[in-house]
Amino acid sequence: MTQSPDTIAHPTIHWQEGGVECSARWRSERGATAPKKVLLADDTLSADTAYRLACEGTALLWRGDFQNARQMLQALGRRIDQSASTDKRGRKPRANALVPKDPALSAEEAAALAAKAFHQHRQAQAQRARVLGMVLLSFDADYGLAQRRSPDARQACAQAWGEPVAGEGASVASMRELLGLISAYEWRKNGVEVPALGEAPQNRIYPHYGVYSPLRGEYIAMVAATHMPKDKAALTAFDIGTGTGVLAAVLVRRGVGRVVATDNDARALACAAENLAQLGVADQVVLQPANLFPEGLADIIVCNPPWLPARASSTIEHAVYDEGSAMLLGFVNGLAAHLKPKGEGWLILSDLAEHLGLRSRAELLAAFAAAGLQVKARIDAKPVHAKASDATDPLHVARAAEVTSLYRLVVRAAA
């Protein structure tokens, strides 16, 4: 039996206000649990006090001016950065960020050091998110905000949370999450230009909240340029983990007759459907909910899995982190069974994990061999995104050395 919206249990947050016990639905797209201790806060609260309370695990339900709450969030961020740059005695600690490899270290020692630095960086990121997530806002039943000088974020919230449900009442979420929803709403409204899809304005992709945005154009350009057989209209292609649908669209624009695009995330499938329709290629693409492969065989199977084999700290990080290389290995191990004779698997993968000590090239090549595959060819590209040249990024050394590759994988011929 399907439950009605009124009977579905949601996480709840509790606080006292005016001597009355209050509660509301707790919302967190990153999967954070509702804070157990909540205090009301307004414009009179000092940043130092707010920082102390947030570090102790006390959430601050904001009742003051919205723009002042935003400034408070910025002030907390500065204190986090200042705390990270000095130890308890006021000294600068040894950098946790990656440093150029010491030639005296063995490859194994260098990889272990890089991995340790990466995990320390991730822990710092998680702590930062936890502290900044302690500034809370309350939303009306229609997602309206009551704070002075607050924006109208109802459409942004509805796109991420779904349309308001009658009888569901008020809710509470972190201000940091709201700012993320607003940013995602603007990306979805304005779109991302993808030159590989042709001339503007018919070359834009509109990412939904929680769906990886195709800002890194080097991998799209490689799919647009990789060799294909002449009779493209007769080809069938699979796009595994389609996300926004951008690679499926590129394959159709290149002349592939039929594309089956899969994803296990409902948001991604809805996003892909919208993008493929507005690009005018929906008739050539079949969208299917699937963990990896659809039924049948294909001439070309494209997969752009998350590039880092680490645990995601929130649900929206699954496009970046692939714990245990689960999706990567699932694709590699299942590829041969889904390729037509002379078919190819196009695996798009950055070597950032190698520079971070998380996975070696030897491990990757061994996985190919174990699955009965061989590399027919490899196309490489240097990333051109902003972080690749940002010397202040804690992972700058690894990002500066990063190369994105498209591996053309084929079934290894029997000896």
CA–CA gap between residue 153 and residue 157 (Å, rounded): 6
Of 310-314, 332-336, 362-366, 405-409, where does mean pLDDT reach its minimum? 310-314
Does the domain at 195-411 match CATH 3.10.20.30? Answer given as no
- DSSP 3-state of 347: strand
Write down the pLDDT at residue 313: 78
Cβ contact 258:197 at 8 Å? no
When the pLDDT of each residue in the chain is averaged and rounded to a whole number, the result is 90
| Cα 234 to Cα 114, 254, 346, 411, distances in angstroms | 46, 12, 18, 21
Q: Which residue would you say has higher pLDDT here, 119 or 292?
A: 292
Give yes or no for a cis peptide into 201 (omega within 30° of 0). Answer: yes
Q: Kindly report each contact of residues 189-197 with a partner whose C-beta sits within 8 Å and lies 24 or more positions away, as own/partner.
A: 194/220, 194/246, 194/250, 195/221, 196/220, 196/221, 196/223, 196/224, 196/250, 196/253, 197/246, 197/249, 197/250, 197/253, 197/279
pLDDT digits over 297-340, tens only?
A: 999 999 999 999 988 877 778 888 999 999 999 999 999 999 99
> pTM of the full predicted structure?
0.88
Mean pLDDT of 392-414: 89
- DSSP 3-state of 348: strand
Q: Using the predicted structure, report yes or no on whether residue 144 has a pLDDT greater than 70.
A: yes
- Tokens 């051109």 map to which residue? 384
Write down the pLDDT at residue 86: 56
With a CB cutoff of 8 Å and minimum separation 6, the contacts of 384 are 217, 218
CA–CA gap between residue 275 and residue 367 (Å, rounded): 34
**Structure token digits, residue 335:** 């590829």
Cβ contact 11:33 at 8 Å? yes
Domain residue extents for the chain: 12-187, 195-411
Write down the pLDDT at residue 94: 45
- DSSP 3-state of 360: coil
- DSSP 3-state of 374: strand
Of 156-165, 175-184, 292-301, 306-315, where does mean pLDDT reach its minimum? 306-315
